[in-house]
Amino acid sequence: MQSTSSKQASAGTATGALAGLRVLDIATFVAAPFCGTILADFGAEVIKIEQPKTGDALRQFGTITECGDSLVWLSEARNKKTITLDLRKSEGVDLFKKLVAESDVVLENFRPGTLEKWGIGFESLIEINPRLVMLRISAYGQTGPKRGEPGFARIAHAFAGLSWLAGEADGPPVVPGSTSMADYVSGMWGAIGVLTVLRDRERTGRGQFIDLGLYESVFRLLDEIAPAYAKYGTVRERMGADTVNVVPHSHYQTASGEWVALACTNDKMFERLAVVMGQAGLVALYPTSAIRVEHRVKVNALVSGWMADHSLAEVIEKTREGGVPCAQIYSVREIFEDPQYKARGNLLHIHDERVGALVLPGPLPRLSETPPTFRHAGRALGADNLQVFGDILGLSAEQVAAHAESGVI
């Protein structure tokens, strides 16, 4: 039985905003499949196609549960139908092409040239279905001198310039948060691409493919580093928790030991902070962002000193009353205890038929009339073979069984 938060996520129309959209997800791991997860959350029929017997490697990535699949799989393969099909076999290719003829979108993230080698590149598939939309995510994109090289999110972070910025000024580059961030961001960019092409298809009646490199998804988010280098030769260096052009805008430790994030993005915010700290005279000493940046060490020391004299509760209360953006730096433990997360349904409590109680990240974004829904967690390998091949392609149970015996399914 689903909890209240799960029921809330399943509220609204029974079909969803993307009902009627059929998506074939032949990708692996996270990047392109996460695009499928987003589409599935909003009602698209997303059919996850995996290698027979072994399945997607994501099933074994992360914490393995009692059903044999990982928590990552149960979360990120949610709402998807799962079938098996060997795309390296000619019979598998034939079945896949028949599915393409009945579908709207294909998601893939193989190394460029792989699908062409199997005879199912975009140019071949659009002949079968001129309205086909195809998302192609790879490490470096479909063109350029590095197009054929492999890569994962960690490599994308490095190549995009993000890892260079992560860490303390006098230390080595570190992991910028989640090692899978580039995958998830690429899935989001991919969803934007798919929805954009679908909108264009309404006008032209013809599909197209989306070409996205993992590193590009990250590089596009790095604010002014490109124009700053091009115009002034500025190479931004690691700054730890600080920000290049705003002070105080960092992490500070309270008297009770917890850490908080403080954001003073403009002069007005600094004025409010100075009042909160009981040091209104700081505004006259450091009136502008440029001056505060010039005196970064001194300003940070003043804020650090004030934080160190007050408990977490005092810091949060005083900054809230003063209108200064400040929040405790949470671990997942605090996230599970926080009433804001509960009120927003960010933690989706569900019951899975294979592993029992689970808590998953809630779907996003919210829509006022057609909200995202939760139907099931990531399913067992080939769980929907009979239904998909039977309902869509008209194969009988005996034909499905024969294909399974031969290793095609």
- DSSP labels, 324-375: --EEE---HHHHHH-HHHHHHT-EEEEEETTTEEEEEEPPS---SSS-----
Q: Are residues 305 and 282 in the same domain?
A: yes
Tell me: do 190 and 264 sit in the same domain: no
Please choose, from the candidates 378, 396, 398, 295, the residue with its C-alpha nearest in 3D space to the C-alpha of residue 70: 378
Same domain, 185 and 134: yes
pLDDT at site 15: 79
8 Å CB contact between 313 and 257: no
Residue 234 lies in a domain: no
Burial 129-162 (b: 16+ CB within 10 A, else e): beebbbbbbbbbbeeeeebeeebbbbbbbbbbbb
pLDDT score at 13? 37
Same domain? 207 vs 142: yes
Residue 240, domain member (yes or no): no
Q: What is the CATH number of the domain that holds 285?
A: 3.30.1540.10
Q: Is residue 236 in a domain?
A: no
pTM: 0.93
Q: For Cα atoms 307, 312, 318, give the angle at the middle one, nearest 5 degrees.
A: 75
Distances (CA, A) of 226 to 13, 160, 219, 239, 287: 44, 11, 9, 18, 29
Give the per-residue pLDDT at 208. 98
Strand partners, 326: 262
One domain for residues 182 and 38? yes
Tell me the residue length of the chain.
409
Residues 217 and 259 in one domain: no
Nearby residues of 102 by Cβ (< 8 Å), 6 or more positions away: 22, 392, 393
Question: Which structural domain, as residue segments, surrounds residue 87?
Answer: 4-221+346-406
Asked if 12 and 110 sit in the same domain, the reply is yes
- Interior CA angle at 352 toward 346 and 358, to 5°? 40
Domain boundary among 295, 312, 337: 337
Residues 283 and 356 in one domain: no
Q: Which of 183, 200, 242, 391 is catalytic?
A: 183
Contact at 8 Å (CB) between 102 and 67? Answer: no
Which pLDDT score, from 0 to 100, does residue 321 have? 98
Tokens read off for 242: 């600080």
Q: Could you tell me if 321 and 286 lie in one domain? A: yes
Residues of the chain with pLDDT under 50: 1-14
Q: Is 163 found in the same domain as 46?
A: yes
Residues 263, 378: one domain?
A: no
Report yes or no on 244 lying in a domain.
no
pLDDT of the residue at 2: 35
Residue 97, in any domain of the structure? yes
Where residue 371 sits, what CATH number does that domain have?
A: 3.40.50.10540
Query: Torsion angle of alpha carbons 111, 113, 118, 124, nearest 10°?
Result: 120
Domains identified in the chain, total number = 2
Among 308, 337, 366, where does a domain finish?
337
* Structural domain includes residue 110: yes
One domain for residues 18 and 110? yes
Domain annotation covers residue 238: no
Q: Is residue 243 part of a domain?
A: no
Residue 94 known to be catalytic: no
Query: CA–CA distance from 45 to each of 39, 254, 335, 389 (Å)?
Result: 8, 49, 31, 14
Residue 167, classified by CB atoms within 10 Å of its CB into exposed (0-12), middle (13-18) or buried (19+), is middle
Residue 221 and residue 243: Cα distance in Å, rounded? Answer: 15
At position 302, the amino acid (one-letter code) is L
pLDDT of residue 7: 35
pLDDT digits 0-9 by tens, 164-179:
999 999 999 999 998 8
